[in-house]
Amino acid sequence: MEPFVYTVNPSRVVFGSGTLKQLPRELQRLSLTSPLILCTPQQTSQANAVASLLRDASIAPAGLFEKATMHTPTNVTAEAQSQLASLAADSLISIGGGSTIGLGKALSIRTGLHHICIPTTYAGSEMTPILGETEDGRKTTRSDPKILPGTVIYDVDLTMTLPTGMSATSGVNAIAHAVEAAYAVNRNPITTLLAVEGIRALAESLPVIVKDTANREAREKALYGAWLCGACLGTVGMSLHHKLCHTLGGSFNLPHAQTHTIVLPHALAYNLPSLSEEVRLKLGRAFPGADGDAVKGLNELLEKLGVERSLKAYGLKEEDVERASEIAMEREYPNPRKLVKEEIREVIRRAWAGEPARADL
């Protein structure tokens, strides 16, 4: 076995059904009494339910900020920080998906306040010390142990009403973390185990959820898989897929989970020829019925989920493909295969057109 480095991220995870009720206890354990609750405009009802739960436990929230936005724009963070400065808040609670959790991370790293995450999707951001922020049309990322949320409460009940479309794309977004973790330059045996188990759990559960959104066993398995995939993202570096998605999301304002869903099989197909046989087999076997072929497994999974396969459906223009490839090539980053602009442009074009992924570049 080759030497490796594995970093254990020190976050506390509470997982199960009905675990939201443990939130007051978690605050009391930390001697926190005045949290600012964060959400998107679409999730104010859930944020208000959290506030009500806390008041019933004699904990008075400092306030509610309900403007969390996709890709964590710095101007929204500045507005939230201004509100935070006017309050006597001693902590942050984010309830929602990647947009809200991203805002919580941005505020936490700026203020040092303890951040409690309550995920309602399968995004996985809650398990990473990584923050992606958008300013002037460019999305950049940074990693710092202080960005990692201190506490994560996974409550399966909060995902039971997640629409099937968002369940599917959010779940594939989580799979993307594990796929790239499996071939990361700083991969290690522990992260690879988590990656394969996370992919398998989601690949098995997501098709069931699409057919039966109220299937509790599938929902539990999906949330478990998302947790593992998020943990992968938090311990190793990412490659081409995440770079492309940050480019497309930050510079062209494409929806986060949907973009990850569309790009993933194409990015994997590009890197596949440069992966070791061991990694190819581990990834391929994580997808049930794929005969050891991860690209085939992803193509078939997306077909089962009935998700949109083209970026043009979300507003990317054909003339944007060239610009996207230029941005994606501006800075070097680790990737299993050498990046060639003409080939990256073709990867983006195929994703734009909605073609099935194929490893022939």
CA 296, CA 287: separation in Å to the nearest integer?
9
CA 59, CA 331: separation in Å to the nearest integer?
47
Q: What is the pLDDT of residue 1?
A: 75
Low-confidence ranges of the chain (pLDDT < 70): none
In Å, how far from its chain's centre is CA 19?
A: 21
Q: What is the pLDDT of residue 286?
A: 96
Q: What is the pLDDT of residue 25?
A: 97
Of 304, 263, 71, 70, whose CA–CA distance to 179 is shortest?
263
**CB-based burial label for 78 (10 Å; 0-12, 13-18, 19+):** exposed
Are 10 and 148 a contacting pair, CB within 8 Å? Answer: yes
| Domains of the chain in sequence order | 12-159 (3.40.50.1970), 164-353 (1.20.1090.10)
Q: What is the pLDDT of residue 338?
A: 95
Q: What is the pLDDT of residue 8?
A: 80
Of 265, 105, 270, 92, whose CA–CA distance to 179 is shortest?
265
CA 184, CA 214: separation in Å to the nearest integer?
35
Cα–Cα–Cα angle for 83, 89, 90, nearest 5°? 140
Q: Which amino acid is present at 145? A: P
